[in-house]
């Protein structure tokens, strides 16, 4: 059977971080990102502490310290959006590139931004790697993310793979009939465009028809317009203690950033 295996981020495991309640992990991640982004530029000591925190979390996940570290660099290109800062923020000049002046304040701001986003991405990566997608969904639902949004993401996650398989079958069917004859091969740009358009249209129709069938399957099992879910388990003491410890740590790092 043809199968597309879109990379699923979650890694199975039974580490301390894996076992934490997904709600705790979501909140802890959001608070970490909030703290990192609120820290003033150049709060180097705080950055060091946040970095140490990511290392400690990484060592607890059982994924290896470098797991998030290696993957976190994908976020760096986005930070380049701030590349203009060193040149536009006023401050004492430290270098001159033709007409552009590199200012000390701007450079500090840019580097801080880079570090903040890099740390935030690491912590988010570790959260998604240690939480199964289904768990993440119910955690978000419990944290009052609007239900229709959760349902959309949930169905998208389920059918993304099915649709990807279907599009794979369609493109294979096209490829197997795109033989080269004795004469002219290929076809013009417009012809190719038509074929590709047909494929996309076909896929959209199939998705639409499938959605009708899925809805019927839901109706057949008693769906009446509102998705019901089981009550999640209560937070354990470990969950609470971890969260309290984490919040205290972040508060101290935040304070330190503003004082020093």
Going residue by residue from 215 to 254, which x/- string records binding to other proteins, judged by CB under 8 A?
-xxxxxxxxx---xxxx-----------------------
CA gyration radius for the chain?
Answer: 25
Least distance CB 151 / other proteins (angstroms): 10
Going residue by residue from 22 to 61, which x/- string records binding to other proteins, judged by CB under 8 A?
----------------------------------------
Nearer to other proteins, 73 or 215 (CB): 215
The only residue of 19, 70, 147, 158 in contact with other proteins, by rule CB under 8 A:
158
Work out the end-to-end distance of the chain between its first and last CA atoms, rounded to an integer number of angstroms.
61
Q: Is 98 in the site for other proteins (CB under 8 A)?
A: no
Residue whose C-alpha is closest to residue 195's, from 179, 221, 175, 222: 175
Q: Is 259 in the site for other proteins (CB under 8 A)?
A: no
Lookup: tokens for 176: 């197997």
Lookup: tokens for 221: 């099992």
**What are all long-range contacts of 36-40, with beta carbons under 8 Å and residues at least 24 apart?**
36/116, 36/119, 36/120, 37/116, 37/120, 38/254, 39/112, 39/116, 39/253, 39/254, 39/257, 40/112, 40/257, 40/258
Least distance CB 129 / other proteins (angstroms): 16
Please give the Cα distance from 160 to 157 (Å, whole number).
5
Least distance CB 74 / other proteins (angstroms): 24
Q: Is 133 in the site for other proteins (CB under 8 A)?
A: yes
Q: Which residues of this protein are in contact with other proteins, per CB under 8 A?
A: 1, 8, 132-134, 137, 154-155, 157-159, 161-162, 210, 213-214, 216-224, 228-231
């Amino acid at each position: 059977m043809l199968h597309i295996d879109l990379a699923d981020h979650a890694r199975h495991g039974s580490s301390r971080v894996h076992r934490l309640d997904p709600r705790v992990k979501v909140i802890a991640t959001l608070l970490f990102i909030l703290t990192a982004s609120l820290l003033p530029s150049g709060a180097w000591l705080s950055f060091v502490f946040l970095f140490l925190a990511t290392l400690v979390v990484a060592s607890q996940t059982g994924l290896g310290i470098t797991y998030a570290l290696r993957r976190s660099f994908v976020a760096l290109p986005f930070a380049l959006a701030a590349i203009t800062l060193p040149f536009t923020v006023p401050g004492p000049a430290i270098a001159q590139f033709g007409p552009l002046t590199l200012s000390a304040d701007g450079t500090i701001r840019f580097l801080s931004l880079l570090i903040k986003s890099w740390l935030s991405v690491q912590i988010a990566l570790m959260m998604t790697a240690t939480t199964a997608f289904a768990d993440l969904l119910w955690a978000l639902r419990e944290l009052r993310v609007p239900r229709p949004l959760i349902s959309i993401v949930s169905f998208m996650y389920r059918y993304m793979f099915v649709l990807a398989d279907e599009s794979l079958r369609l493109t294979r069917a096209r490829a197997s009939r795109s033989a080269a004859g004795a004469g002219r091969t290929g076809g013009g740009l417009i012809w190719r465009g038509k074929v590709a358009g047909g494929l996309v249209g076909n896929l959209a129709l199939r998705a639409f028809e499938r959605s009708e069938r899925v809805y019927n399957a839901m109706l057949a099992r008693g769906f009446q317009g509102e998705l019901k879910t089981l009550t999640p388990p209560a937070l354990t003491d470990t969950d609470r203690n971890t969260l309290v410890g984490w919040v205290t740590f972040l508060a101290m790092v935040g304070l330190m950033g503003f004082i020093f």
